[in-house]
Amino acid sequence: MKRLFYTIVSCILLSATNIHASQPESYVPAPENLKARQEFSDSKFGIFLHWGIYSMFGQGEWYLQTGGLDCHEYAKAASGFYPSKFDAEKWISAFKDAGAKYICFTTRHHDGFSMFDTEYSDYDIIDATPFKRDIVKELADECARQDIKLHLYYSHLDWTREDYYPLGKTGHKTGRKSHGKWDTYYSFMNNQLTELLTNYGPIGAIWFDGMWDQPENFDWHLEEQYALIHKLQPACLIGNNHHKAPKPGEDFQMFERDLPGENTAGFSADSKIGNLPLETCQTMNGMWGYKVKDLNYKSSKELIRLLVRTAGKGANLLINIGPQPNGEIPELALDRLKGMGEWLKKYGETIYGTTAGDIMTAEWGTTTRKGDKLYVHIIADKMPQFITLPLKQKVKKAILFDSQNKIDMEKIKGGVVLHTANLKPDTDCILELTLN
């Protein structure tokens, strides 16, 4: 059976490569892909999950690298990985109650450990741990049951495999003694991607990471890899956290720890904004993976305001949680999710299905747009006396979203002035403007 599977996969890979060779260089997304892009843009809020055997060390997802560990010794942790309290139904229910429309799960991070049942490595949740349950399968089934999109993170780099060679900027001291051939590693990745896009139902997106490990001129053969993904599931979106402008074959663009157009974290200097759907990924506390000492969680208020500012840029917010080694979501994370969910139940209309507003960034906040409605989000702790909005369209009506009470408004050349001094500051004080 295993041999038959290999044969089928090889045929698919060969077919994808041949098709790519006959295609024009420019990528033309399928109609179902364009539809998926719009649905993705409308969703606005997702949950990122960094979880693997690194959680057992309680030092974050980079501990193999930062701890100076030997990868063979590190791998022994898998034999003790038994997340007895993992419950896919509880996870997805909590995320759905929080208002999230999709999740993105780390199928294989830089440490090389696969959180799914793979035929191409024994270093996985089934073969290397006593748990022997396919985490990705359980999440996929529960996402389908609760109607939440499943996105899959996949690392382009690997700190453990000998055939990830030449080595990049990281992973030089993890104990690898020999070096294999890149072609073998490339085939391994494509085989695993084929499994993920064949065995787990519809996948909303593949979220690549790690390209930044290699020099600028390194050939990752992205065109062939992207063609394979789109052949297997045309609606599956492809994003790559390479910190550059979008490349042919990609369907959305992400920004690490920053809003589009900003570079406070230092990753987005070369991330020229393209014409694709946008996503900002950010941590709920300081780390991506579970760190036992990291209790510095952003408040629900901070996370809501981040979501609002992200939507004002026309982007989605992918907020990260690092599950505990026992499989539970940290209580502090659940508390923050509850706060976000309560707010979105009241004000989600001003976030979901919106586009970037006429004013993306202002000292007082931002705006989102839906049809003839412009939502003015005042997220300042001190209410401004007035807000000037340069608008091309005329304003028919201005009301407070909560109470529907009218807002004093003064029409000026090129826009309006909203008198806001008497309004009460809140997590987000929302005004609704109806435009001609």
For residue range 139-184, what is the model confidence (pLDDT) as tens digits?
999 999 999 999 999 999 999 999 999 999 999 999 999 999 999 9
Helix intervals (H) in 209-366: 222-232, 300-312, 331-347
pTM value > 0.85: yes
For residues 119-131, give the mean pLDDT.
Answer: 98
Does 198 have pLDDT greater than 70? yes
Which pair of structure tokens corresponds to residue 417? 């002035």
- Asked if residues 238 and 251 have their Cβ atoms less than 8 Å apart, the reply is yes
Instruction: Provide the pLDDT for residue 26.
Output: 83
For residue 6, name the pLDDT band (cuts at 50, 70, 90). very low
Does 19 have pLDDT greater than 50? no
Does 1 have pLDDT greater than 60? no
The CATH homologous superfamily for domain 31-354 is Glycosidases (3.20.20.80)
Handedness of CA 109, 276, 369, 93 (dihedral sign): negative
Instruction: Provide the pLDDT for residue 25.
Output: 57
Alpha-carbon span 53 to 111, nearest angstrom = 9
Buried b / exposed e along 404-421 (16+ C-beta atoms within 10 A): eeebebeeeeebbebebe
Does 208 have pLDDT greater than 50? yes
Does 422 have pLDDT greater than 50? yes
* % the chain with pLDDT above 70: 94
The CATH homologous superfamily for domain 365-435 is Golgi alpha-mannosidase II (2.60.40.1180)
Give residue limits of the domains in the chain.
31-354, 365-435
Q: What is the mean pLDDT of the chain?
A: 94
Contacts of 260 (CB under 8 A, 6+ apart): 253, 271, 273, 278, 280, 313, 314, 315
Give Cα separations from 161 to 123, 171, 173, 182, 214 (angstroms): 10, 10, 13, 10, 16
List pLDDT tens digits, range 48-69. Answer: 999 999 999 999 999 999 999 9
Question: Dihedrals φ, ψ of 387, to 5°?
Answer: -125, 125
For residues 82-88, give the mean pLDDT.
Answer: 98
Same topology, domains 31-354 and 365-435? Answer is no
DSSP 8-state code for residue 362: B
Does 199 have pLDDT greater than 70? yes
Cα angle, residue 327 at apex, residues 324 and 328 outer, rounded to 5°: 70
**Beta carbons within 10 angstroms of residue 45's beta carbon:** 23
Alpha-carbon span 428 to 212, nearest angstrom = 36
Buried b / exposed e along 269-291 (16+ C-beta atoms within 10 A): eebebeebbbbbbbbbbebbbbb
Alpha-carbon span 38 to 435, nearest angstrom = 23
Does 4 have pLDDT greater than 70? no
Contacts of 365 (CB under 8 A, 6+ apart): 308, 309, 312, 376, 377, 378, 379, 380, 428
For residues 219-227, give the mean pLDDT.
Answer: 97
